[in-house]
Structure 1
């Protein structure tokens, strides 16, 4: 399977992503595509579409332009189109619109869509447009390069912090600048490094990762055409930093994954950190924890052979408030564990409670278990509409024990 929309022979069977919240439209298009010998994956929302695009490559994308009830201006679809093309400029996107939406379809074409499909459509015309879009040469003006064959690289998140970072990645990625990707461990630094590499002219070639803490890995520094992804450059001493600087080929592009760029000496910093991209911690990514949790639930469900469970209201409330040990990586682990423990396709708040992490402002850290217990009880009560019996069962307590704790916490 090639990059989105780059299939050598459309007739051999393409993989298509359909993004439409109308179940009847989805069913009709699924039938038409499957009869034509193509596989189709249907999702009802932009969030699920981006989640799917982060997991799998598609030869073509069918995109409805409106999702919220009452929306007819196509702004939601155009925003999603821009998001898709920013990450995958060669994606073959066909927008779906009604006859009254010709103006919006024209705007989508001007924004980079490959074609548009009018409702109601004729199946033969729909399939012909899909296959023509897949077979059409790239519209990208730059010299063509082989499509990447690895996993797709999509940075998920809708928070302002992550949108700013994603825009910087899209701006710097195509250049030859060496970049320092900084931030806490587990926040997604490796994904950002991969996105920078994928956006570059070297993106068709595998990157070369060198962990500088491993002496045997230093031999890979001789790679010149590929992107070098360096780990732990800020953890080696000044002597080793000097040796690293001597070993780096002038033509090699470097992306360094660091905790802090301040750990680099000035000469090395000038070579491998022309620009710094700071990955924001999850606590600064307002609303992204829930979006990522749903994404990780889909991944875990697919890995373990079951449907993606839904989160209860209490679980969603907990996801938006908690500090997660090990950042996004820790959240992914917690969600996979919760998927395995989910009953009847539902994830309760109690299944995803991580250890409490409190940042010390004084020499001695204060771990307040009472605050954690209060938050859990409040979430369980909301989830079960303040039915104490049901909330107590969800928390693994007797009614009497729950009443005592409610009184203690003023609930």
Structure 2
């Protein structure tokens, strides 16, 4: 028995009885009314799946206009219901008109039972498909809301930040490719999300991809997807990040860390707005807003032959340069207060305050790790605090090498971090070149920096 609710509307009680007898063994619920005026008071009308509606209700009238009127009323009240029109007077033009008005099908009286059951089953299948599509759309909408949730805020009143946000608002309204640059920890992904949130694609998905964490042999699979059996671990078809971001925004972070080979593959996808899954020959068009980010000097990398000039032109229609924290006059203490309140709530220490001397220390420190370093510094101070007043000694600050202001490297980890940072400085932030100098893989270098929160 099919789990569907059917309503029969006909003024002929013999027709109602015949249909109830025919359908009661096929469908879970079969109800009937003899007067269409009862539609407005029919209980749980919006739960009906299929309606069988007579075309004529007044004696001596066979124009079908009454049925068309009630079809229109049903469509207004519950547009999702599949309606099948019934009449003893067959006319092609009347059938066509009913279908144009939104009827699912048209049957003649007396009917053939087998044909009638087939028609109703088709209407049920259509309704079921519509329900499934509606549920999938709702799930997709809910998923997009979850993915797009961003609890980070852009905090500050400095002129540098206001100029940046003014540019972001102008650029967001367009669909051009954007390159976001700036030192580590300045909030490049936060700005990318702001571009998405202020764009016409804000209700669609924002997909962030950390290019530095993707190994070269998995690059195509991660970005373009793969088909089942295309390589050893491909146990099922899988969409890549480009497909996942279709209709929305794709954010490619650390794009300066790609090899020349992967740059060529990325350029083709960006240029043609078409991707091909690994193991497939079928081109898949994608509609994305592309935002890329890096802390590397891409122009110098182009000069050194490490980055494709044509790729740079493609991703760099608009260039957004983020100011460092030391360039944002007055924002340090605003951010410090914001993070202090955040971590007081998180760690259950509601009475903490930063004294004047500590504020001066925070305000004058150069913050080489920018906002990210400030966040970690405040969190660490809150966790380790033993008194309600935070003093200068509660804030352990570090120089650019990552070593304490008051001492040299005391551990192997500190020495390792010093060597990594020095290599990155020598190579203008290029991970591949720094890794080559240190004799480790780019992936290993990236993982080591990730562990330190850099």
Q: Which has the larger radius of gyration?
A: 2
| Normalised TM-score (structure 2) | 0.45
